[in-house]
Structure 1
Amino acid sequence: MSDTQKSDLALLLLRVSLGVMALAHGFLLKVLTFTPAGTAQFFESVGYPAFVAYLVILGETLGGLALIAGVFTRLTAVLLLPILIGATLMHVGNGWMFSKPNGGWEFPAFWTVALVVQALLGPGAYSIGRLLPTSLPSFVRA
């Protein structure tokens, strides 16, 4: 296996992992477990307007799907950054370790860095975006 193939495989693993995590947090956790109304209530309890919860749910769910597919990869990674920076800031008072009560900030901080890496590197060769016509804008394919 060549270095290029290894890099493309690494990008696939990074992109799909980030996508699955975003989808799990947006849909499985916030929609199916806590419900959108419950998520909105939590957001209000920590000082955010309720509508922000719905934007986060939408962003994580659609962003997860886009990352898994490898379309809008760079744009999606950048658009997910405010959500993860917000999550990091929400957990910073709980300490470093995510095993602390209410979770620490290590996991969302790492997730933030991984999204920056994904945005810098793009989707890799194994993405649906690479199969789209070259006449489409590059931010769609990358």
Structure 2
Amino acid sequence: MNRSTYTHDSAQAYGSLVLRVALGVMWIAHALLKWFVFTLPGTAQFFESVGLPGILAYPVFVAELLGGVALVLGVYARQAALALVPIMLVAAWVHLPNGWTHTSEGGGWEYPVFLVMASLAQWLIGDGALALRRSRRFVPGHA
């Protein structure tokens, strides 16, 4: 690739695309874990066991699934990434007593915190290449 076709902007756009798709796939996988492995009623029971309303399992599942799809497709990806952050902040809080690694009994906080950080990074750097619906670009210090 010669210098005239490879720019910093294109590298950033494709780097953001890679992050966006990987992050979207992870959010989709996280949602489908609730559907296929734990089941939604089982997830609701888990939510209740940690002091959360069980009914929240259903909108959390929908948010993770649709947010993940939005990220993969690049449909308002920045907003989708930011909207998913509170879900994983609560998950990190729930798993905090289990220790750091997610392989700990009951799951640790490393995976939820990683998804929070990756989602925040996606929000900050933008939609990237091949996005179907672009978000407004975040520019620090500008309205």
Q: Is TM more than 0.5 here?
A: yes
Q: Deviations over 1:103-141 (max 9, x none)?
A: 2111211110111111111111221114xxxxxxx55xx
| CA distance in structure 2 between the aligned counterparts of 1:99 and 1:24, rounded to whole angstroms | 17
The unaligned stretches of length 5 or more in structure 2 are: 1-5, 137-143
Return the letter of the residue paired with 1:12: L
| CA distance in structure 2 between the aligned counterparts of 1:40 and 1:99, rounded to whole angstroms | 22
| CA distance in structure 2 between the aligned counterparts of 1:79 and 1:96, rounded to whole angstroms | 24
Rg (Cα) greater in structure: 2
Q: Which residue of 2 aligns with 1:23?
A: 28
Q: Which residue of 1 aligns with 2:13?
A: 8
CA displacement at 1:36 relative to structure 2: 1.2
| CA distance in structure 1 between the aligned counterparts of 2:105 and 2:76, rounded to whole angstroms | 35
Q: In percent, how many aligned pairs have the same letter?
A: 47
Q: What count of residue pairs does the alignment treat as equivalent?
A: 131
| Matches for 1:47-126 after TM superposition, within 5 Å | 47-126=51-130
- Decide which structure has greater helix share: 1
Report the aligned-residue RMSD: 1.3
Structure 1 counterpart SS, 2:133? helix
Return the letter of the residue paired with 1:8: A
CA displacement at 1:99 relative to structure 2: 2.2
Tell me the TM-score normalized by structure 1.
Answer: 0.86
Instruction: Determine whether 1:39 maps to 2:28.
Output: no
The unaligned stretches of length 5 or more in structure 1 are: 131-137
Q: Which residue of 2 aligns with 1:135?
A: none
